[in-house]
Amino acid sequence: MQRPLGLGLRLRLMLTLAAVAVFPIAFVSYVIVRDEVRNVTRSIDFEVHDAALNAQARFSRLLDRRQLRAVTAASAPSLQGAIGRHDARSLERYARRNGLLIEVGGRTYGRRLEDAVPARAQLVSGGREIGSVVAELPLDAATLGEMSAGAAQGVRLTVVDVGGPTPPDTTQGTTLPLTRKVGIRAYLPAAMASHRKNAAYLRVVEAGLLALAALMLLTLVLTRPLLRAFRWTEEQASEARIDALTGLANRRALEEILAAEISRAQRFTHELAVVLLDLDRFKEINDSFGHAAGDAMLREVSRLLISLARQGDTVARWGGEEFVVVLPETDLAGAQQFAERLRRTIEAHAVGEMKTSASCGVATMLHEDSVDELVGAADQALYQAKSNGRNRTESAIRRPRPAVA
């Protein structure tokens, strides 16, 4: 009959197993701490970039309202009458009462703001331009407050000179232009960013200490669930915007990015193109080689797309075997050349015994486009490429919609 293990022997065994596990746990804790801090940094970068994009869009709407105000004032009968009478006192009174600048006859009426962006409307009399009405958008605390509405907690905004030095305490931030000379910088103060990183570090350290204590009690029984829990936490942090199979941006992330690019292109009259790519007869690969081989092909195509894209382009998995590439500041000819380069590269590339080809649909943005309209135009071009025999590139021929009266 075997004697039961004594308490001292079991304690020594537990301590030995714990001592052996200290180094792996320390290494895993180091990796998790590093990745957690990196995730916090990425989260901060996303929050400040999103705040800058929203501020830029809100600024555009505020400036548009000022422009409409100037246009309305320019056609007001009272203003036209004062101009016709050359009544300087009435012009000054009208300008100050409405918060406008009136420039006519070589003189300026009203009060000019120091830090403001002008929205100008022409004054016309007898079919010729005689001056202008200017509605100014002040770059003050009130305007910044409107632009920062909806920003993540702690994110701050400041107006900076485009191309000028970065203000102190704003090193982790994003600057986007509002005009040629003025930009908006969204940032998280250095102390707050440091606090969030330290908090993430402390959370991981506390979890590691608890894991070590649990290991002392249950040895290897809790090791796998603990690591699985950490892995699940990391996956949850990234799966909202990242496609799990390819590592590319997913459809949700692409729609947000494309909406921001459309807004930027509309504001600054830039070109914007989209390439929608679909692998030809992909079902035959799954049927012939299995779904695991099909997944390998999707990952390899994703790698090729990333390697061919420029810095600033966005590559995303739209769904199934469809991919989307967003090309800022690219016209139709440039997008066609890029799509053809993608198509030829995919056609010439093999994954083991597997080869495939791709059909591409190309579309460029019209000024009034939404995300659905731009992607829909590329989808129609892709359908045309499929109908014309696959393994080819077709472009959407688009004309601006007639203006609605």
The widest CA-to-CA distance across the chain, in whole angstroms, is 121
Burial class (CB in 10 A: 0-12, 13-18, 19+), 306: middle
Higher pLDDT, 173 or 402: 173
DSSP summary character for residue 248: S
3-state secondary structure of 218: helix
CA gap 278, 340 in Å, rounded: 13
Angle at 375 between CA 370 and CA 381, to 5 degrees: 135
Beta-carbon contacts of 347 under 8 Å, excluding residues fewer than 6 positions away, are 355, 356, 357, 358, 391
pLDDT digit string (tens) for 179-190? 888 888 888 887
Banded model confidence at residue 266, pLDDT cuts 50, 70, 90: very high
Q: Residue 89 pLDDT more than 70?
A: yes
Burial class (CB in 10 A: 0-12, 13-18, 19+), 95: buried
CA distances from 143 to 25, 84, 116, 154, 184 (A): 51, 35, 10, 18, 12
Q: Residue 278 pLDDT more than 90?
A: yes
Mean pLDDT of 306-322: 93
Banded model confidence at residue 364, pLDDT cuts 50, 70, 90: very high
Is residue 102 within 8 Å of residue 109, measured between CB atoms? yes
Q: What is the pLDDT of residue 77?
A: 87
Banded model confidence at residue 399, pLDDT cuts 50, 70, 90: confident
Q: 251-395, which class in CATH? A: alpha beta
pLDDT digit string (tens) for 194-235? 777 777 777 777 776 777 666 666 655 544 554 455 456 656
CA distances from 292 to 250, 295, 299, 304 (A): 20, 5, 11, 19
Q: What is the pLDDT of residue 16?
A: 64
Beta-strand ranges (E) seen in 20-127 are 100-104, 107-109, 116-125
Q: What is the pLDDT of residue 6?
A: 46
CA gap 258, 314 in Å, rounded: 9
Query: What residue ranges do the domains of the chain occupy?
Result: 1-239, 251-395
Q: What is the pLDDT of residue 3?
A: 42
Burial class (CB in 10 A: 0-12, 13-18, 19+), 364: buried
The secondary element (H helix, E strand) that includes residue 230 is helix 223-239
Q: What is the pLDDT of residue 2?
A: 38
Mean pLDDT of 123-129: 80
Candidates 120, 122, 130; CA nearest to 86 is 130
Look up 321 and say whether it is catalytic: yes
Instruction: Note the helical H segments in 75-189.
Output: 77-85, 88-97, 141-147
CA gap 342, 358 in Å, rounded: 8
Q: Residue 300 pLDDT more than 90?
A: yes
Higher pLDDT, 226 or 377: 377
Q: 120-134, 275-289, 382-396 — which is least confidently predicted?
A: 120-134
User: Which candidate in 136, 321, 322, 394 is catalytic?
Assistant: 321
Q: What is the pLDDT of residue 8?
A: 53
The secondary element (H helix, E strand) that includes residue 183 is strand 182-187
Mean pLDDT of 349-355: 88
Banded model confidence at residue 328, pLDDT cuts 50, 70, 90: very high
CA gap 209, 344 in Å, rounded: 54
Alpha carbon 180 to its chain's center: 22
Mean pLDDT of 365-376: 92
Q: What is the pLDDT of residue 1?
A: 37
Q: What is the pLDDT of residue 227?
A: 46
Mean pLDDT of 388-403: 84
The secondary element (H helix, E strand) that includes residue 47 is helix 7-74
Matching residue, tokens 């947000």: 256
Q: What is the pLDDT of residue 47?
A: 85
Percent of all residues in the chain with a pLDDT value above 90, rounded to a whole number: 33
Count CA within 13 A, CB hemisphere, residue 210. Answer: 9
Angle at 76 between CA 74 and CA 80, to 5 degrees: 80
Beta-strand ranges (E) seen in 257-376 are 272-279, 314-319, 322-328, 350-351, 354-355, 358-364
pLDDT digit string (tens) for 14-72? 566 566 666 666 676 667 777 777 787 888 888 888 888 898 899 889 889 988 988 88
CA distances from 24 to 20, 27, 30, 223 (A): 8, 5, 10, 11
Is residue 79 within 8 Å of residue 124, measured between CB atoms? no
Banded model confidence at residue 336, pLDDT cuts 50, 70, 90: very high
Q: Supply the pTM of this predicted model.
A: 0.43
